[in-house]
Structure 1
Amino acid sequence: MNLVERVQSILLKPKATWPAIDAEPADAASLYKNYVMILALIPAVASFIGLSLVGIGAFGMSFRVPVVSGLVNMIVGYVLSLVMVFVLALIIDAMAPTFEGTKSQIGALKLSAYASTAAFVGGIFSLVPALSAIGALAALYGVYLLYTGLPVLMKCPPDKAIAYTAVVVVCAIVGGFVIAWVLSLLTPLPARIGALAPADAVAVLQQQWAART
Protein backbone atom coordinates (compact mmCIF):
# COMPACT_ATOMS: atom_id res chain seq x y z
CA MET A 1 0.00 0.00 0.00
CA ASN A 2 1.33 3.38 -1.01
CA LEU A 3 0.46 5.83 1.77
CA VAL A 4 -0.14 8.87 -0.43
CA GLU A 5 -2.22 6.91 -2.91
CA ARG A 6 -4.32 5.41 -0.14
CA VAL A 7 -4.98 8.82 1.42
CA GLN A 8 -6.01 10.21 -1.96
CA SER A 9 -8.23 7.26 -2.78
CA ILE A 10 -10.06 7.14 0.55
CA LEU A 11 -10.68 10.89 0.44
CA LEU A 12 -11.59 11.24 -3.23
CA LYS A 13 -13.32 7.94 -4.02
CA PRO A 14 -14.27 6.23 -0.76
CA LYS A 15 -17.05 4.04 -2.21
CA ALA A 16 -14.60 2.40 -4.59
CA THR A 17 -11.83 2.18 -1.97
CA TRP A 18 -13.67 0.54 0.92
CA PRO A 19 -14.10 -2.84 -0.87
CA ALA A 20 -10.37 -2.89 -1.58
CA ILE A 21 -9.63 -2.12 2.07
CA ASP A 22 -12.03 -4.86 3.15
CA ALA A 23 -10.34 -7.44 0.92
CA GLU A 24 -6.71 -6.72 1.79
CA PRO A 25 -5.02 -8.58 4.65
CA ALA A 26 -4.15 -6.48 7.68
CA ASP A 27 -3.63 -6.61 11.41
CA ALA A 28 -3.58 -3.99 14.15
CA ALA A 29 0.21 -3.69 14.12
CA SER A 30 0.45 -3.08 10.37
CA LEU A 31 -2.45 -0.61 10.35
CA TYR A 32 -0.88 1.46 13.08
CA LYS A 33 2.70 1.22 11.83
CA ASN A 34 1.99 1.90 8.16
CA TYR A 35 -0.93 4.32 8.42
CA VAL A 36 -2.31 5.60 11.70
CA MET A 37 0.98 6.42 13.44
CA ILE A 38 2.18 8.33 10.39
CA LEU A 39 -0.93 10.37 9.69
CA ALA A 40 -1.53 11.12 13.37
CA LEU A 41 1.76 13.02 13.32
CA ILE A 42 0.22 15.69 11.06
CA PRO A 43 -2.11 17.35 13.59
CA ALA A 44 0.30 16.76 16.49
CA VAL A 45 3.33 18.37 14.81
CA ALA A 46 1.26 21.10 13.12
CA SER A 47 -0.29 22.06 16.45
CA PHE A 48 3.13 22.28 18.08
CA ILE A 49 4.46 24.50 15.30
CA GLY A 50 1.36 26.67 15.33
CA LEU A 51 1.22 27.21 19.09
CA SER A 52 4.92 27.28 20.00
CA LEU A 53 6.65 28.65 16.89
CA VAL A 54 4.04 30.67 14.95
CA GLY A 55 2.04 31.77 17.96
CA ILE A 56 -1.43 33.15 18.54
CA GLY A 57 -2.27 36.78 17.90
CA ALA A 58 -5.46 38.52 18.96
CA PHE A 59 -6.59 41.92 20.28
CA GLY A 60 -3.19 43.46 19.67
CA MET A 61 -1.38 40.78 21.64
CA SER A 62 0.59 37.73 20.62
CA PHE A 63 1.47 34.64 22.57
CA ARG A 64 3.51 31.50 22.03
CA VAL A 65 3.19 28.38 24.14
CA PRO A 66 6.57 27.62 25.75
CA VAL A 67 8.44 24.99 23.75
CA VAL A 68 8.53 22.46 26.59
CA SER A 69 4.78 22.81 27.17
CA GLY A 70 4.21 22.60 23.43
CA LEU A 71 6.24 19.39 23.19
CA VAL A 72 4.31 17.84 26.07
CA ASN A 73 1.05 18.91 24.44
CA MET A 74 2.18 17.40 21.13
CA ILE A 75 3.20 14.06 22.62
CA VAL A 76 0.08 13.68 24.76
CA GLY A 77 -2.19 14.71 21.88
CA TYR A 78 -0.46 12.24 19.56
CA VAL A 79 -0.81 9.34 21.99
CA LEU A 80 -4.44 10.17 22.74
CA SER A 81 -5.28 10.27 19.02
CA LEU A 82 -3.80 6.78 18.62
CA VAL A 83 -5.84 5.56 21.57
CA MET A 84 -8.97 7.22 20.19
CA VAL A 85 -8.71 5.25 16.92
CA PHE A 86 -8.55 2.00 18.88
CA VAL A 87 -11.41 2.94 21.22
CA LEU A 88 -13.64 3.89 18.28
CA ALA A 89 -12.86 0.54 16.69
CA LEU A 90 -14.02 -1.20 19.87
CA ILE A 91 -17.26 0.82 19.79
CA ILE A 92 -17.85 0.10 16.11
CA ASP A 93 -17.30 -3.61 16.66
CA ALA A 94 -19.47 -3.77 19.80
CA MET A 95 -22.37 -1.94 18.13
CA ALA A 96 -22.38 -4.07 14.96
CA PRO A 97 -25.03 -6.62 16.08
CA THR A 98 -27.33 -3.77 17.17
CA PHE A 99 -27.48 -2.57 13.58
CA GLU A 100 -27.60 -6.04 12.03
CA GLY A 101 -23.93 -5.96 11.16
CA THR A 102 -21.22 -8.56 11.63
CA LYS A 103 -18.66 -8.21 14.39
CA SER A 104 -15.10 -7.97 13.09
CA GLN A 105 -12.30 -6.53 15.18
CA ILE A 106 -9.96 -5.98 12.26
CA GLY A 107 -12.79 -4.64 10.09
CA ALA A 108 -13.73 -2.16 12.80
CA LEU A 109 -10.12 -1.07 13.20
CA LYS A 110 -9.74 -0.60 9.46
CA LEU A 111 -12.90 1.50 9.45
CA SER A 112 -11.81 3.62 12.41
CA ALA A 113 -8.32 4.14 11.01
CA TYR A 114 -9.26 5.07 7.46
CA ALA A 115 -12.33 7.11 8.40
CA SER A 116 -9.99 9.23 10.56
CA THR A 117 -7.98 10.22 7.49
CA ALA A 118 -9.89 13.47 6.94
CA ALA A 119 -9.31 14.57 10.54
CA PHE A 120 -5.63 13.70 10.41
CA VAL A 121 -5.00 15.46 7.09
CA GLY A 122 -7.13 18.45 8.13
CA GLY A 123 -4.83 18.88 11.10
CA ILE A 124 -2.35 20.58 8.79
CA PHE A 125 -4.37 23.79 9.26
CA SER A 126 -3.17 23.90 12.87
CA LEU A 127 0.10 25.29 11.49
CA VAL A 128 -1.73 28.63 11.63
CA PRO A 129 -3.85 28.69 14.82
CA ALA A 130 -6.32 31.12 13.27
CA LEU A 131 -7.11 28.48 10.61
CA SER A 132 -7.51 25.54 12.98
CA ALA A 133 -11.31 25.79 12.67
CA ILE A 134 -10.95 24.83 9.00
CA GLY A 135 -9.28 21.62 10.12
CA ALA A 136 -12.27 20.90 12.34
CA LEU A 137 -14.57 21.37 9.37
CA ALA A 138 -12.42 19.06 7.28
CA ALA A 139 -12.77 16.41 9.98
CA LEU A 140 -16.54 16.39 9.36
CA TYR A 141 -15.84 14.62 6.07
CA GLY A 142 -14.87 11.66 8.22
CA VAL A 143 -18.57 11.22 9.00
CA TYR A 144 -19.24 10.54 5.33
CA LEU A 145 -16.28 8.17 5.15
CA LEU A 146 -17.67 6.27 8.12
CA TYR A 147 -21.14 6.15 6.61
CA THR A 148 -19.89 4.71 3.32
CA GLY A 149 -17.59 2.23 5.04
CA LEU A 150 -19.95 0.66 7.57
CA PRO A 151 -21.99 -1.43 5.09
CA VAL A 152 -18.78 -2.72 3.50
CA LEU A 153 -16.59 -3.55 6.48
CA MET A 154 -19.21 -4.27 9.15
CA LYS A 155 -21.77 -5.78 6.73
CA CYS A 156 -24.68 -3.76 8.10
CA PRO A 157 -27.73 -3.16 5.87
CA PRO A 158 -27.43 0.17 4.04
CA ASP A 159 -30.65 1.42 5.64
CA LYS A 160 -29.06 0.93 9.09
CA ALA A 161 -25.88 2.83 8.21
CA ILE A 162 -27.23 6.28 9.12
CA ALA A 163 -28.21 5.31 12.66
CA TYR A 164 -25.00 3.29 13.08
CA THR A 165 -22.97 6.28 11.94
CA ALA A 166 -24.81 8.63 14.28
CA VAL A 167 -24.04 6.48 17.34
CA VAL A 168 -20.36 6.20 16.46
CA VAL A 169 -20.10 9.94 15.76
CA VAL A 170 -21.62 10.80 19.15
CA CYS A 171 -19.04 8.57 20.82
CA ALA A 172 -16.29 10.24 18.76
CA ILE A 173 -17.48 13.70 19.82
CA VAL A 174 -17.41 12.69 23.47
CA GLY A 175 -13.92 11.29 23.01
CA GLY A 176 -12.85 14.48 21.26
CA PHE A 177 -14.05 16.59 24.17
CA VAL A 178 -12.10 14.40 26.58
CA ILE A 179 -8.93 14.80 24.51
CA ALA A 180 -9.46 18.58 24.24
CA TRP A 181 -9.98 18.78 28.00
CA VAL A 182 -6.80 16.84 28.74
CA LEU A 183 -4.79 19.01 26.35
CA SER A 184 -6.27 22.18 27.83
CA LEU A 185 -4.80 21.22 31.18
CA LEU A 186 -1.37 21.26 29.54
CA THR A 187 -1.86 24.55 27.68
CA PRO A 188 -1.14 27.94 29.30
CA LEU A 189 -4.14 30.25 29.68
CA PRO A 190 -3.27 32.74 26.87
CA ALA A 191 -3.24 29.92 24.32
CA ARG A 192 -6.62 28.73 25.50
CA ILE A 193 -7.92 32.29 25.15
CA GLY A 194 -6.76 32.30 21.53
CA ALA A 195 -9.03 29.34 20.85
CA LEU A 196 -12.12 31.04 22.28
CA ALA A 197 -14.73 33.01 20.40
CA PRO A 198 -13.84 36.76 20.40
CA ALA A 199 -16.54 37.73 22.93
CA ASP A 200 -15.50 34.97 25.32
CA ALA A 201 -11.84 35.81 24.91
CA VAL A 202 -12.51 39.47 25.75
CA ALA A 203 -14.40 38.42 28.88
CA VAL A 204 -11.54 36.21 30.03
CA LEU A 205 -9.00 38.95 29.38
CA GLN A 206 -11.11 41.45 31.34
CA GLN A 207 -11.30 39.03 34.25
CA GLN A 208 -7.55 38.52 34.20
CA TRP A 209 -6.94 42.28 34.05
CA ALA A 210 -9.34 42.93 36.92
CA ALA A 211 -7.61 40.29 39.02
CA ARG A 212 -4.29 42.07 38.57
CA THR A 213 -5.55 45.58 39.41
Structure 2
Amino acid sequence: MNLFERVKQIIIAPESEWQTINRENTPAQTLLFKYLFVLALIPAVATFIGFGVMGVSYGEIIHVEGAIGTGIRQGFISYVSTILSVYLASWVIGFLAPSFGSERNFGRAFTLVAYSYTPSLVAGVVLIFPAMAFIQMIAGIYGLYILYLGLRPMMKTPKDRQPTFFLISLLVIILVTIAISAVFSSIFISPYLM
Protein backbone atom coordinates (compact mmCIF):
# COMPACT_ATOMS: atom_id res chain seq x y z
CA MET A 1 0.00 0.00 0.00
CA ASN A 2 1.48 3.31 -1.15
CA LEU A 3 0.27 5.97 1.30
CA PHE A 4 0.09 8.86 -1.16
CA GLU A 5 -1.63 6.76 -3.83
CA ARG A 6 -4.16 5.37 -1.35
CA VAL A 7 -5.02 8.84 -0.04
CA LYS A 8 -5.44 10.15 -3.57
CA GLN A 9 -7.59 7.23 -4.74
CA ILE A 10 -9.86 7.07 -1.68
CA ILE A 11 -10.58 10.78 -2.15
CA ILE A 12 -10.99 10.99 -5.94
CA ALA A 13 -12.32 7.50 -6.75
CA PRO A 14 -13.71 6.02 -3.52
CA GLU A 15 -16.08 3.51 -5.11
CA SER A 16 -13.38 1.72 -7.11
CA GLU A 17 -10.82 2.12 -4.32
CA TRP A 18 -13.10 0.29 -1.87
CA GLN A 19 -13.03 -2.69 -4.24
CA THR A 20 -9.23 -2.62 -4.19
CA ILE A 21 -9.14 -2.27 -0.39
CA ASN A 22 -11.60 -5.13 -0.02
CA ARG A 23 -9.29 -7.44 -1.98
CA GLU A 24 -6.19 -6.46 0.04
CA ASN A 25 -7.54 -7.38 3.49
CA THR A 26 -4.88 -5.29 5.32
CA PRO A 27 -4.65 -6.09 9.07
CA ALA A 28 -5.96 -3.34 11.38
CA GLN A 29 -2.58 -3.09 13.12
CA THR A 30 -0.80 -2.38 9.82
CA LEU A 31 -3.42 0.20 8.89
CA LEU A 32 -3.08 1.82 12.31
CA PHE A 33 0.71 2.16 12.17
CA LYS A 34 1.29 2.82 8.47
CA TYR A 35 -1.77 4.91 7.65
CA LEU A 36 -3.70 6.39 10.55
CA PHE A 37 -0.70 7.30 12.74
CA VAL A 38 0.85 9.11 9.76
CA LEU A 39 -2.26 10.94 8.51
CA ALA A 40 -3.35 11.96 12.02
CA LEU A 41 -0.11 13.95 12.22
CA ILE A 42 -1.41 16.40 9.58
CA PRO A 43 -4.12 18.04 11.71
CA ALA A 44 -2.06 17.58 14.90
CA VAL A 45 0.98 19.44 13.52
CA ALA A 46 -1.24 22.05 11.87
CA THR A 47 -3.08 22.55 15.18
CA PHE A 48 0.24 22.96 16.98
CA ILE A 49 1.31 25.61 14.47
CA GLY A 50 -2.08 27.30 14.54
CA PHE A 51 -2.42 27.56 18.30
CA GLY A 52 1.26 27.60 19.20
CA VAL A 53 2.69 29.97 16.62
CA MET A 54 0.04 31.72 14.51
CA GLY A 55 -2.58 32.34 17.17
CA VAL A 56 -6.33 32.36 16.74
CA SER A 57 -8.07 35.23 15.03
CA TYR A 58 -11.71 35.64 14.11
CA GLY A 59 -11.64 39.05 12.48
CA GLU A 60 -11.72 42.12 14.71
CA ILE A 61 -13.68 40.42 17.48
CA ILE A 62 -11.41 37.67 18.81
CA HIS A 63 -7.65 37.44 18.64
CA VAL A 64 -5.52 35.19 20.84
CA GLU A 65 -1.74 35.22 20.48
CA GLY A 66 -0.02 31.90 19.84
CA ALA A 67 1.50 30.10 22.82
CA ILE A 68 3.76 27.07 22.46
CA GLY A 69 2.22 25.34 25.49
CA THR A 70 -1.27 25.75 24.06
CA GLY A 71 -0.08 24.53 20.66
CA ILE A 72 1.50 21.40 22.14
CA ARG A 73 -1.61 20.67 24.22
CA GLN A 74 -4.01 21.19 21.30
CA GLY A 75 -1.81 19.18 18.89
CA PHE A 76 -1.60 16.31 21.36
CA ILE A 77 -5.35 16.35 21.93
CA SER A 78 -5.94 16.36 18.17
CA TYR A 79 -3.63 13.40 17.57
CA VAL A 80 -4.76 11.15 20.40
CA SER A 81 -8.46 11.93 20.04
CA THR A 82 -8.34 11.11 16.32
CA ILE A 83 -6.76 7.71 16.98
CA LEU A 84 -9.15 6.93 19.84
CA SER A 85 -12.20 8.11 17.87
CA VAL A 86 -11.38 5.84 14.94
CA TYR A 87 -10.68 2.90 17.23
CA LEU A 88 -13.81 3.23 19.39
CA ALA A 89 -16.14 4.02 16.48
CA SER A 90 -14.76 0.98 14.64
CA TRP A 91 -15.35 -1.25 17.63
CA VAL A 92 -18.96 -0.07 18.05
CA ILE A 93 -19.72 -0.27 14.31
CA GLY A 94 -18.23 -3.77 14.16
CA PHE A 95 -20.24 -4.80 17.21
CA LEU A 96 -23.51 -3.47 15.74
CA ALA A 97 -22.90 -4.88 12.25
CA PRO A 98 -24.89 -8.15 12.65
CA SER A 99 -27.99 -6.11 13.55
CA PHE A 100 -27.92 -4.79 9.99
CA GLY A 101 -27.18 -8.08 8.25
CA SER A 102 -23.51 -7.15 8.07
CA GLU A 103 -20.35 -9.03 8.98
CA ARG A 104 -19.04 -8.58 12.55
CA ASN A 105 -15.36 -7.97 11.94
CA PHE A 106 -13.35 -5.37 13.85
CA GLY A 107 -10.54 -5.31 11.28
CA ARG A 108 -12.88 -4.51 8.41
CA ALA A 109 -14.79 -1.94 10.51
CA PHE A 110 -11.48 -0.31 11.43
CA THR A 111 -10.51 -0.19 7.76
CA LEU A 112 -13.87 1.35 6.89
CA VAL A 113 -13.68 4.07 9.54
CA ALA A 114 -9.96 4.85 9.12
CA TYR A 115 -10.24 5.36 5.37
CA SER A 116 -13.43 7.40 5.72
CA TYR A 117 -11.51 9.82 7.97
CA THR A 118 -8.99 10.47 5.16
CA PRO A 119 -10.51 13.66 3.69
CA SER A 120 -10.84 15.25 7.12
CA LEU A 121 -7.28 14.33 8.10
CA VAL A 122 -5.81 15.66 4.86
CA ALA A 123 -7.86 18.85 5.09
CA GLY A 124 -6.55 19.23 8.64
CA VAL A 125 -3.66 21.17 7.14
CA VAL A 126 -5.95 24.25 7.18
CA LEU A 127 -5.80 24.20 10.98
CA ILE A 128 -2.60 26.21 10.65
CA PHE A 129 -5.20 28.98 10.57
CA PRO A 130 -7.74 27.78 13.20
CA ALA A 131 -10.45 30.07 11.82
CA MET A 132 -10.45 27.91 8.66
CA ALA A 133 -11.58 24.78 10.57
CA PHE A 134 -14.88 24.82 8.66
CA ILE A 135 -12.97 23.53 5.60
CA GLN A 136 -11.96 20.45 7.56
CA MET A 137 -15.61 19.97 8.56
CA ILE A 138 -16.67 20.09 4.90
CA ALA A 139 -14.03 17.47 4.10
CA GLY A 140 -15.41 15.38 6.97
CA ILE A 141 -18.83 15.44 5.31
CA TYR A 142 -17.23 14.04 2.17
CA GLY A 143 -15.67 11.38 4.39
CA LEU A 144 -19.18 10.33 5.39
CA TYR A 145 -19.96 9.73 1.73
CA ILE A 146 -16.83 7.56 1.56
CA LEU A 147 -18.08 5.68 4.64
CA TYR A 148 -21.44 5.09 2.98
CA LEU A 149 -19.78 3.70 -0.16
CA GLY A 150 -17.56 1.42 1.92
CA LEU A 151 -20.30 -0.28 3.93
CA ARG A 152 -21.20 -2.83 1.26
CA PRO A 153 -17.71 -4.01 0.26
CA MET A 154 -16.15 -3.83 3.73
CA MET A 155 -18.97 -4.92 6.04
CA LYS A 156 -20.96 -6.99 3.50
CA THR A 157 -24.02 -4.85 4.27
CA PRO A 158 -27.09 -5.75 2.21
CA LYS A 159 -28.15 -2.94 -0.12
CA ASP A 160 -31.56 -2.50 1.54
CA ARG A 161 -29.94 -2.09 4.99
CA GLN A 162 -27.10 0.18 3.87
CA PRO A 163 -28.89 3.52 4.53
CA THR A 164 -29.96 2.50 8.04
CA PHE A 165 -26.54 1.10 8.94
CA PHE A 166 -24.96 4.27 7.57
CA LEU A 167 -27.16 6.49 9.76
CA ILE A 168 -26.36 4.43 12.84
CA SER A 169 -22.64 4.49 11.96
CA LEU A 170 -22.83 8.26 11.52
CA LEU A 171 -24.48 8.59 14.93
CA VAL A 172 -21.81 6.36 16.48
CA ILE A 173 -18.99 8.46 15.01
CA ILE A 174 -20.59 11.71 16.20
CA LEU A 175 -21.24 10.40 19.73
CA VAL A 176 -17.76 8.88 20.07
CA THR A 177 -16.13 12.10 18.86
CA ILE A 178 -18.18 14.24 21.27
CA ALA A 179 -17.46 11.91 24.19
CA ILE A 180 -13.71 11.82 23.55
CA SER A 181 -13.59 15.59 23.03
CA ALA A 182 -15.45 16.14 26.30
CA VAL A 183 -13.07 13.88 28.22
CA PHE A 184 -9.95 15.50 26.76
CA SER A 185 -11.34 18.99 27.31
CA SER A 186 -12.05 18.26 30.96
CA ILE A 187 -8.60 16.75 31.50
CA PHE A 188 -6.36 19.04 29.45
CA ILE A 189 -8.18 22.32 28.91
CA SER A 190 -10.50 22.99 31.90
CA PRO A 191 -7.64 23.29 34.44
CA TYR A 192 -6.19 26.16 32.38
CA LEU A 193 -9.48 28.07 32.36
CA MET A 194 -9.76 28.25 36.16
> What TM-score do the two structures reach when normalised by structure 1?
0.82
Alignment of 1:72-151 (within 5 A): 72-151=73-152
Find the aligned partners of 2:27 and 2:62 in 1 and give their Cα distance: 49
Between Structure 1 and Structure 2, how many residues are aligned? 191
Alignment of 1:151-170 (within 5 A): 151-170=152-171
Contact 1:73–1:183 (Cα < 8 Å) also in 2: no
Shift of 1:187: 4.3
Find the aligned partners of 2:116 and 2:135 in 1 and give their Cα distance: 18
Find the aligned partners of 1:128 and 1:2 in 2 and give their Cα distance: 29
SS of 2:30's equivalent?
helix
SS of 1:57's equivalent?
strand
Alignment of 1:45-64 (within 5 A): 45-58=45-58, 59=60, 62-64=63-65
Find the aligned partners of 1:94 and 1:2 in 2 and give their Cα distance: 30
Find the aligned partners of 1:124 and 1:188 in 2 and give their Cα distance: 26
AA partner of residue 133 (structure 1): F
Bigger radius of gyration among the two = 1
Name the % identity.
32
Shift of 1:184: 3.9
Find the aligned partners of 1:152 and 1:51 in 2 and give their Cα distance: 39
Find the aligned partners of 1:36 and 1:61 in 2 and give their Cα distance: 33
In 2 relative to 1, CA 61–168 (structure 1 residues): closer, same or farther, beyond 3 Å?
closer
Gaps of 5+ in 1: 193-213
In 2 relative to 1, CA 2–36 (structure 1 residues): closer, same or farther, beyond 3 Å?
same
Shift of 1:7: 0.4
Contact 1:56–1:63 (Cα < 8 Å) also in 2: yes
- Hey, what does 1:18 align to over in structure 2? 18
- Hey, what does 2:180 align to over in structure 1? 179
Shift of 1:188: 8.0
In 2 relative to 1, CA 61–107 (structure 1 residues): closer, same or farther, beyond 3 Å?
closer
Find the aligned partners of 1:136 and 1:14 in 2 and give their Cα distance: 19
- Hey, what does 1:7 align to over in structure 2? 7
Gaps of 5+ in 2: none
Contact 2:55–2:67 (Cα < 8 Å) also in 1: no
AA partner of residue 94 (structure 1): F
